[in-house]
Structure 1
Amino acid sequence: DGQVQATLAEGATLLMGGSKVEGAGNYYAPTVLANVTDQMTSFKQELFGPVASIITARDADHAVALANDSEFGLTASVFTTDPEKARSIANQLETGGIFINAYSVSDPRVSFGGVKKSGFGRELSHFGVREFCNAQTVWLNRR
């Protein structure tokens, strides 16, 4: 809630939600913030909750620049009907996973993990299995 309230104080527009849900537990109303800029809290910080920040980009290059301006890099989604454009954008994004015409998903057949302040290492797939292994080196000097 503090991140949402800070973003609103910085000039964003509340389209819906923006408040805690009363009752037992820690629940937050699904929230949509518009007119968010790269100088606002919800752009600069990771929000873990039902909050969508709408950030307007001039074009695809500007969208990539905005996405890469983050200290975080878990996943990104690219939506387009042009497969070549999707690949081009995906190759420029600094994230651990890129989903084309889909939202972030978790599937045991593919690795999942982030870059930058979103961590390192992977879970799932053969990469993830290795994260839980302890390798041992045995060196025999034959001299």
Structure 2
Amino acid sequence: GHFVMPTVVDRLPVDHRLCRDELFVPFVAVADVESLDEALSRANRSEFGLTAGIFSEDPEEVRTFFSAIEAGVAYANRRGGATTGAWPGVNSFGGWKASGSSGRGAGGPYYVQQFLREQSQTWVE
């Protein structure tokens, strides 16, 4: 197998594959942006949408982020916990766009329902 050390990289070109691809390794590319709108635009240009997070002290920025980000799991000011941003068995985990295949998040309280078959029954005696 392969082992990848946790890595933080900055100043990569915006179109660099390390800024575009889902890597599934402990790697983050950091970029300077002028505004939240620019950050959201850059993030949403990706063909993937698994997770996204923001750190902000401004509640309006957090609301804007949650309403605009195109990701299946979004979180704000989360410093600990599951590295994916989701708590398996507590909230659903699934990506949007090319990060998912069913449009349904796994592991959440309503996930199992998609596999059930409904039947209405009426019995008059």
TM range (shorter): 0.7 to 0.9
Conserved in 2, the CA contact under 8 Å of 1:73 and 1:114? Answer: yes
Partner of 1:36: 12
Correspondence 1:16-55 to 2 at 5 A = 25-55=1-31
Q: How many residues align?
A: 113
Deviation at 1:53, TM superposition (A): 0.8
Q: 1:58-137 counterparts in 2 under 5 A?
A: 58-102=34-78, 104-119=85-100, 120-131=103-114, 133-135=115-117
Q: TM-score, normalised by structure 2?
A: 0.79
Contact 2:89–2:109 (Cα < 8 Å) also in 1: no
- Give the structure with the higher percent helix: 1
Query: Which runs of no fewer than 5 residues in structure 2 stay unpaired?
Result: 80-84, 121-125
Alignment-mate amino acid for residue 98 of structure 2:
K
CA distance in 1, matches of 2:55, 2:62: 7
Aligned counterpart, 1:18? none
- Cα root mean square deviation, aligned: 1.9
2:73–2:86: 8 Å Cα contact kept in structure 1? no
Report the secondary structure of 1:88's partner residue: helix
- Find the residue that maps to 2:111 and give its secondary structure: helix
Identity among equivalent pairs (%): 31
Q: TM-score, normalised by structure 1?
A: 0.70
After the TM superposition, which segments of 4 or more aligned residues of structure 1 sit over 6 Å from their partners?
none
Greater relative contact order structure (CA < 8 Å, 6+ sep): 2
Deviation at 1:136, TM superposition (A): 5.7
